[in-house]
Amino acid sequence: MNTAAKLTAYGVALALAAGGAWAIGTAVGPLSVESAAQADGHGGAHGGTVAESTPNDLPKGLASSRGGFTFTPTHATLSTGSAQPFSFRITKPGGEALTAFDIEHEKPLHLIVVRRDTSGFQHVHPTMAADGTWTVALNLPQAGSYRAFADFAPTGSEPVTLGVDLTVPGDSVPVEYRESRVATVDGYEVRLAGDLVSGSSSKVTLSVFKDGKPVDDLQPYLGSYGHLVALRGGDLAYLHVHPEGAPGDGKTRPGPDVVFFAEVPSAGVYRLFLDFRHNGVVRTAEFTLSTNGTTPTAAPSTSASAEHGHN
C-alpha cells in the first residue's frame, strides 16, 4: 500500500455518545460522546479511506442484513463472568447458511465486539462448523449493551460487514473518554502523532516503546505490523484499517512506527484501537482523538487494554 492508498474499512462499528438512542438497522443504545458523523468503507484490497460512501447511503456494520446476507446469532443475551460460547450464522438469500468465504487478512471471518461506550473492545476469530455455524468464546466482564460486527467476504461476492446488538443484563455505568494520544499497556507505551482532518487525507503515526526504548522488532499480525480500528462517535460506524506497507515488502520496517493515512468524512470524536504483536503476544492500545475544530467531552480516560481475546 502506498501513501496515496486509503485506509480500509475492515467492517466494525463504533459508538461514542453521551446518551441518546440510535436506531439504524438493529442498533439501539446509549453512547458516551456525541457526534453526528456517519459512514464506512471496506475496499476489497483493504486500502481505502476511513470512511467511504456505500450503497444505499448506509454505512457498513449498522445493519444486521445487507446485500441478501444476514448476521443471525443463536442467542443475543449473554452473561458476565468467564468465557462463554457465542454462536451465529451468516445466512444468504433464501435463508440457507453461507459456508463459502474468501480468506481476508488470513481469516475467513473477523468478529469485533465492543460495548456501546466503546469499552471492552475485542477482535476475535470464530471457527465454522460444517453446517455454517460459527462459534467463539467471549468474555464480557461488564454488563451493558454491546455491538458485534462480522466482517467477511462471501466467495464470489463483495466484502460485507454486518452488525447485531448483544445484551449483558445488569447495572451498567457508561465509560466516558477524554482526548488521549499516549496509551500504556503491559509495560508498553504507544504514542500517536498526527491529526484527523475531516475531508482530507491525514497521516497518523503510532510509535511503540517498551521500557522507554523503541520497539523495532514488531511481529506480523494477520499480515501487517498493526491494525487500527477507528470507531466514530454517534453512529456505531465501524472501520478497521491497515497500515502503509507490509512485512517482507523490502521497505516497511517492523517498528517502532506504524503509519496510516486516514481520511475521515466529518468532524467528530473518534476512538482508535491499535492491535500490535510483540514477543508472541497481541496487545491493544486505545486512543481518543477529535478531528480539527472538535473538542471531545472531558472525562476520565481508560488508555489501553491488553490481550483482548485475539486469536
pLDDT of the residue at 96: 96
Dump pLDDT digits (tens) for 33-57.
333 333 333 333 333 333 333 444 5
Place of cell 506480523: 220
pLDDT of the residue at 306: 56
Residues of the chain with pLDDT under 70: 1-60, 240, 265, 292-311
**Which domain covers residue 29, as residue numbers?**
1-311
**How many structural domains does the chain have?**
1
Amino acid 54 reads: T
Question: 237, 59 in Cβ contact below 8 A?
Answer: yes
pLDDT of the residue at 62: 81
pLDDT of the residue at 1: 45
Q: Name the grid cell of 2.
A: 502506498
The pairs formed by 50-54 with CB atoms below 8 angstroms and a separation of 24 or more are 50/6, 50/7, 50/9, 50/230, 50/239, 50/241, 50/262, 50/263, 50/264, 50/265, 51/9, 51/232, 51/237, 51/239, 51/263, 51/264, 51/265, 52/6, 52/9
pLDDT of the residue at 13: 37
The verdict on pTM exceeding 0.95 is: no
pLDDT of the residue at 18: 34
Q: In the 3-class helix/strand/coil scheme, how is 221-279 assigned residue by residue? A: ECCECCEEEEEECCCCCEEEECCCCCCCCCCCCCCCEEEEEEECCCCCEEEEEEEEEEC
